[in-house]
Structures are given as C-alpha cells and as structure tokens.
Structure 1
Amino acid sequence: MNTYDIATIDGDGIGPEVCQSAIAVLREACGERLRFTAWPGGAAHHARTGAVLPEETFAACRSAHAILHGAAGLPGITYADGTEVGNDLHLQLRFRLDLYANVRPNRLYRGVRSPLAGWEAGGIDYVIVRENTEGLYASRGAGVNLRGEVATDTLVVTRKGVERVARFAFELARRRQGAPRDGRRRVTVCDKANILRSYAFFRAICDEVARGYADVEIDYAYADAITVHMLKKPDFYDVIVAENMFGDIISDLGAGTVGGLGIAASAELGDSHGLFQGAHGSAPDIAGQDLASPLATILSGALMLRWLGERHGDDALVQGAARVERAVEDVLAAGQTVPRDLGGQARCSEITQAVCRQLG
C-alpha cells in the first residue's frame, strides 16, 4: 500500500484553522496513507524573518508528493512596490515548480442556494482551467514604473504555454461527463481575440490542439461576454480555458454562482507537482475565532486525493476523493451544520467534525 508525503503550509489568518481541518478530514478518509509535515511560510513569517517562502520550505515542497496550503497574506505587510507579500508565497511555488494549470471547479451542491434564481444541485457543474504562469501576471515584479508617472506591465503568451494548458483542458473534458445542459464534452476558449493579437494567438493555438480531440467540442467566448453567459446559461459550460488574468477574474465569478469563495476549491498543477488550497483569502478579521469555513480547503484536499490517485494509479485515493466530496455535500444537504458564509452558524470545528462523522 503506497503512502504519500504531503508538505503543509498553514500560512496566515484563518490559514492554520482551515488547513488543520482539511488534514483531519483527509486522515479520516485515508488513514495513515498520507504523511503530513508542516513547514513555515507566509506574510507573518516574512515579517519575522524576511522570507515569505524559506528555502527549506521550498525544498520540502519540491520533494513532497503534494502541497496543501491554508492561506497567506496580512494587511499592511507589503513589498516596497506596494504589492502584497502573502501572495508571493504561492506565486513563488507556482513559478518555481511550473504549476501551469490552475483548476477551479464550479459545482452547485445540494443544500447550497445559488444567487442565480432557479438553479438546482448539479445544474451548474463546470471547471475553469486558468493558464497559471504566463499572461499578464508574468510581469509581476518586472513591470516598469517610470518616475512615478508611467507604469506598464506586459502580457506574455507563448506557444508552449498555451499548448500545454489547452491540452490539459481537452484531456480534462475527455474525462468528464459533459455539460449539464446537453451532456456534450466541450472546451470553451475565453479570450479577447477580436481586439488583441496576443489573444488571437492564444485562440489559434487552442484551435490547433482541438484538432487532436474530435470527441470534444471547441467553443469560444470573449472575456466580457462570458461574464454574462456564466450568469444566464451556466449549464452550457463543461471546461473553460483562459489566460491568467481573465481566468482569475472569471473563476471568482463562477465561484459566486455556486455559493462563494468559501466553498471554492483550487488546484495548481504542473507535470510533476501539485499545490492545493481554497480559493479564498486569509480573512484576518475572523482568524482564531473558529468562525471560518474549512469547506474550500477540504474540497481542495479532495482534488489533491484525486490528482495523486490518478498520477500514481491508486484507485483508493480516487475513491477517497469522491467520498470526501460526497460527505461535504451530505452535510450541507442535511442543513444542520452550515457555515456562516452559506447562511448558517456552524463553526469551523463543528463543520470539520460533521464531515468526519459523515466519512466514518
């Protein structure tokens, strides 16, 4: 029986609470097959030591089978250029480990009411695949601020970067059951190909990749128009692939339609490494009060189990992922242990215990 080393970084704010909650659930689901080792990092660590991601933490993450992260960032802890220190933790891991595909599932669970009227559980079920290492965010730390008068950042798109994230999206669509509306496997390319050459290039490369996937439809949507379509016809979507910044924006919009960032799981994946964390921030205003929802981090842990299971041919982990997701949905559907962001009053510890009981 295989065992797996998981590097964990609690981080800042509610990070320690939600990370430890996810660990408890994953242990309940998988027993001792996962070996968790905690490592330091985050904005508070930077304030104490000058390092947001210590080299020993990076080395541990690089050698681990997977990385589980709570959250990072604290108000007022910024670099000289005004950018937030906390974000740099996962940005460094993203670029140094080449985690080129950010995977953001958007599924409406039983027991969760969408702010979009009339949608029921399962009616919204798609995944946004965001290119994670290029695009506008490749300029982070490298843009130009000229005399405090002019600032520029450059959008970078490469053939290799687009090819691999497009292939990732088509492979993912091939493994899914299709869009809720019609059951058709579909990849929607989100861009602004009508205005900018960089996005026309992005679309053209996606078209090239699509020729190798006759069983998956290709669809197109401009980034501004898709924000309307995601509200009016979310059941049309199966997999959406987008450049870094556009993917970042529409991922949060998608999360809002299925309950918010408190239930939004996230995986950042490369060919050899995977980082898993909830899509929300560190919420320092409620840190240490047992008020945070751990569901996004727990569901990110389920993504980790599925990724590890598929990567290592371990069906037990794949089944464990499905059990965790089912347990979360069963707890929400029961309506007795609902986090504050979804309209309930349950504490972080109570939600964790409820999910663990459902798994037991």
Structure 2
Amino acid sequence: MARYRIATIEGDGIGPEVTRAATAVLTEACGADTLAFDGLEGGAGHYRRSGEVLPDETFAGCRDADAILHGAAGLPGVVYPDGTEVGNDLHLRLRFRLDLYANVRPIKLLPGVLSPLRAFEGGGIDYVIVRENTEGLYASRGAGVLLRDEIASDSLVVTRKGTERVARFAFDLAARRSGAPRDGQRRVTVCDKANILRSYAFFRRICDEVHAGYPGIAIDYAYADAITVHMLKRPDFYDVIVAENMFGDIISDLGAATVGGMGISPSGEIGDTHALFQGAHGSAPDIAGQNAASPIATILSGAMMLRWLGDRKHDADLARAADRVEAAVATTLRDGRAVPRDLGGAATCTEVTDAVRRALA
C-alpha cells in the first residue's frame, strides 16, 4: 500500500500532459508502492462545465493529502464578471485556505542549458527566490475598489506576522544551503522599495529583526528596480532572495528567463502543514494536446515535493529519490538525449519523459 497520498489536479491546457509525465517519473524514482496520486477536478475547464473552479471535494482532498501536485490552470476567455482570470483562482484559493505563505522559486542553471547570461554558464547561477505568498498587493484580489468607472484602487498589505514567518523561512533555507556561487556566503537579500513606501520599510525592518537570530547568515538589501539589473549582471552573488508578493512574482520570472525559461522552472507554495507544487509556467492552451510541452518544470516541482515531504515525514528515501530525479533531468539535458522544444530541441513531452525515466533506471 502506498505510504503517501498526493492530491493531483491536472487542470487545463498542457496541465494533464505535464502532470502525467511527472507522475510517471516520480513513480519510477520512488517505486509503485510509495506514492498514490489521487486525481481531482478543478480549473477553468471545470468551471466552464460546472460553475466551480475548486469543488468542495477537491479542496477536501487537497487538505487531507500529504502533498499537492498541480499541472496548470487557465483558458482564454474564461474569466469572472470583473475580468479576472478564473484559472488563477484555483491555486489562489488553495493558497489562502491552506495558508501556503512561502512561494519558493529555485533559479538554477542546469547542465546543457544555454543561458542568455553566457558569462555565468558552468555553475554561476544557483539561488532561490522566496516570495511572501498571502499578503502584499495581491491581498487585495477581489477586494479592490472601482468607483464610477473612473477610479480603481487596491491596497498593499504587510503584516508583522506575515513578514516574520516568510523571513524566517528564507533564513532557515539559507542555513541549509551552501551559499552563493560567487563567495560561498550564506546570504538573504531583502528585495523591497523601502526608500519610497512605508510598507516596504516596515517589511525591511522586520527582516532585520528576524536576521538577529541568524548570526551566521549575511543580510543584503536591494530595491526592486535595482535587483532586476543585479540579477543579470551578478547573479552569482545571490543565495536566497525574500520579497513581497508582487515584487517576488515579477523577479522570479526574470530569474527563470536567465536559466532557460518558464518551461524548466519549478515552484512550490509552502505553509506550515500543507504544500502545493507546480511548474512556474502557465497552461499554454495553444500547444495543448500536441505532445509539444516540456514536462521538465513539473518534474522538477515533483522533486521539490519529494524533498519537502521527506523533511516533513523524516523519510530519507524521499530525499534520495528527489536527488535522483534532479540528476536524471540534468543528465538528460547535458547529454542532449531529449531536449524539449522550448530549449531549442525537438523532443516531445513523451520523449523527454521517457529519457528522464531511462536516466533514472
């Protein structure tokens, strides 16, 4: 009998293809008796059919599972009356209801991947962006003001509790890492606009207070506009970056572009008791059903899931399986066995998946 139940939402567009690819790889890495993937409904397509983006039974399945694996959600034209996208609401509802307060985006240049930052190929890009996931500007979603079709406003929310816990998450993560590629220094960079807005000055001050409990880790600061330059000019300086919700959202996509794009960028949304993992890309409905999508981001998100679950359950086998999955992906890309189309190759989703499975074996 499987030891861990994984709530699995395939979603829309390429979501089913990349989810099935990831579950095949994870089963190969862990064995058939370790993980049980419990398929659940949700997303824009389900909303169009039923009027619900996140059915009650899907939420209950996610709440009660050991972890959540999500493909992608969203379809063109499927929007709420206020114009916001339905697909995004699936994981946003899970995020808030399960209190998944830390969005974790690894930015790592894999072997065999050509970066636009050629000077840093060969191991020069390896950092993690930790984005506060439940507050900031996005806390206004569904609660902003539109007045007489003339004025629209949304409020940016920063609380002590929210900032303290995401800052602590970032420093704890830095303590487990090996430091920045440039100098080996364990470092947390606080990304904000503390020079302009009181909310961000407050965010920085709380990060400073949390830092006092981590004497072995350096703290660094960067304004949100300046860091977009630094991430291109000196990415090897960074180890862990912590940011407010919207800034973290923006800079994490920039970071992904420096290491090959969204198609190979994993992500996790993590709380104290629950976590959801998905590729950082969207549902790409224009290539859905063509076997053209890259499954790499979802496969690597699955590896993140195994590592988180292994830590939570004190199961070293899961951590070893995560290492093997990441090594198999690196081998597949480095050796050119099956390079997905978004990286300049011609391999289909199925071919990439099969190559990673063979590398595992």
* TM-score w.r.t. length of structure 2: 0.99
Structure 2 counterpart of 1:55: 56
Tell me the SS of whatever aligns to 1:10: strand
Structure 2 counterpart of 1:141: 142
Tell me the SS of whatever aligns to 1:86: helix
Structure 2 counterpart of 1:331: 332
- Show CA shifts across 1:168-200 (max 9, x none): 000000000000000000000000000000000
Structure 1 counterpart of 2:15: 15
- Show CA shifts across 1:71-122 (max 9, x none): 0000000000000000000000000000000000000010001011222232
Tell me the SS of whatever aligns to 1:118: helix
1:295 is aligned to 2:329: no
Structure 2 counterpart of 1:27: 27
Tell me the SS of whatever aligns to 1:229: helix
Q: Is 2:14–2:287's contact at 8 Å kept on the other side of the alignment?
A: yes
| Segment drifting more, 114-123 vs 40-49 | 114-123
Structure 2 counterpart of 1:278: 279
For residues 250-269 of structure 1, what are the structure 2 equivalents within 5 Å? 250-269=251-270
Report percent identity of matched pairs.
74
Q: Structure 1 unaligned segments of length 5 or more: list them.
A: none
Structure 2 counterpart of 1:96: 97
Q: Distance in 1 between matches of 2:116 and 2:334?
A: 17
- Show CA shifts across 1:111-148 (max 9, x none): 00101122223210000000000000000000000111
How far the C-alpha of 1:2 sits from its partner, in A, is 7.6
How far the C-alpha of 1:3 sits from its partner, in A, is 1.0
Q: Distance in 2 between matches of 1:336 and 1:27?
A: 21
Q: Structure 2 unaligned segments of length 5 or more: list them.
A: none
Q: Distance in 2 between matches of 1:340 and 1:147?
A: 47
Structure 2 counterpart of 1:311: 312
Q: Is 2:2–2:35's contact at 8 Å kept on the other side of the alignment?
A: no
1:43 is aligned to 2:44: yes
- Show CA shifts across 1:5-51 (max 9, x none): 00000000000000000000000000120111100000000000000
1:220 is aligned to 2:254: no
* 1:2–1:121 CA distance, 2 compared to 1 (3 A): farther
Q: Distance in 1 between matches of 2:115 and 2:76?
A: 30
Q: Distance in 2 between matches of 1:280 and 1:122?
A: 23
Q: Distance in 1 between matches of 2:138 and 2:123?
A: 33
Amino acid at match of 1:74: L
How many residue pairs get aligned? The number is 360
Amino acid at match of 2:10: D
* 1:197–1:108 CA distance, 2 compared to 1 (3 A): same
For residues 196-235 of structure 1, what are the structure 2 equivalents within 5 Å? 196-235=197-236
* TM-score w.r.t. length of structure 1: 0.99
Q: Is 2:337–2:355's contact at 8 Å kept on the other side of the alignment?
A: no
1:359 is aligned to 2:346: no
Amino acid at match of 2:357: C
Q: Distance in 1 between matches of 2:124 and 2:23?
A: 30
Tell me the SS of whatever aligns to 2:181: coil
Q: Distance in 1 between matches of 2:198 and 2:208?
A: 15
Structure 1 segments, 4+ long, off by >4 Å, are none
Structure 2 counterpart of 1:345: 346
1:165 is aligned to 2:141: no
Tell me the SS of whatever aligns to 2:308: helix
Structure 1 counterpart of 2:131: 130
Q: Distance in 1 between matches of 2:270 and 2:337?
A: 34
Q: Distance in 2 between matches of 1:346 and 1:27?
A: 22
Q: Distance in 2 between matches of 1:199 and 1:78?
A: 32
Tell me the SS of whatever aligns to 2:86: coil
